[in-house]
């Protein structure tokens, strides 16, 4: 009986390590995506890091997928800090919120494809009308 209990604990430990590893790898992908977005929009990624803030199930084209929200801070001039968010589905950017130029409010846009395609962005209002 003891060997079965030990095996179960070992499997639980292995599952925990595997989940931690996957989340760490996903965070590294999110940091690279945040750097790319900041570079594209003329912003500085402060602290060179992102933090996991939320996980949600999102329906896209009739398919439910898991999306992770990462929060980070950006600056236009290196003096001010403004909040930004990045939603990732797998290794793809699903949507992101960046501060408007010169204003603390966030502007949210939804990427219809991976962040590699720079001109393929749809506003959140347009996305809601499509679905």
- 10-residue block means of pLDDT along the chain (131 residues)? 86 94 90 90 88 86 86 87 89 85 54 44 54 51
17: containing domain: 2-130
Number of folded domains that form the chain: 1
For residue 114, give Cα distances in angstroms to 56, 92, 96, 98, 121. Answer: 19, 5, 12, 17, 10
Contacts for 2 with CB less than 8 Å, ≥ 6 apart: none
Among 99, 100, 101, 97, which residue's Cα sits nearest to residue 111?
97
Among 66, 50, 46, 48, which residue's Cα sits nearest to residue 58?
66
In this prediction, residue 62 carries a pLDDT of 79
In this prediction, residue 116 carries a pLDDT of 40
In this prediction, residue 73 carries a pLDDT of 92
Q: What does pTM read for this prediction? A: 0.68
In this prediction, residue 16 carries a pLDDT of 95
Give phi and psi for 80, each to the nearest 5: -105, 150
First-to-last alpha carbon distance for the chain, in angstroms, is: 53
| H-helix segments, 1-130 | 2-40, 124-130
In this prediction, residue 113 carries a pLDDT of 43
Handedness of CA 8, 13, 18, 23 (dihedral sign): positive
């Amino acid at each position: 009986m003891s060997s079965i209990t030990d095996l179960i604990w070992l499997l639980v430990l292995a599952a925990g390590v595997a989940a931690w590893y996957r989340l760490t790898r996903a965070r590294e992908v999110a940091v690279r995506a945040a750097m790319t977005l900041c570079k594209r929009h003329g912003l500085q990624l402060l602290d060179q890091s992102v933090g996991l803030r939320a996980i949600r199930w999102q329906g896209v084209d009739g398919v439910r997928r898991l999306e992770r929200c990462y929060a980070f801070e950006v600056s236009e001039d290196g003096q001010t800090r403004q909040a930004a968010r990045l939603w990732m589905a797998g290794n793809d950017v699903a949507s992101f919120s960046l501060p408007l130029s010169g204003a603390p409010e966030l502007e949210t846009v939804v990427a219809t494809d991976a962040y590699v395609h720079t001109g393929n962005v749809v506003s959140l209002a347009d996305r809601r009308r499509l679905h």
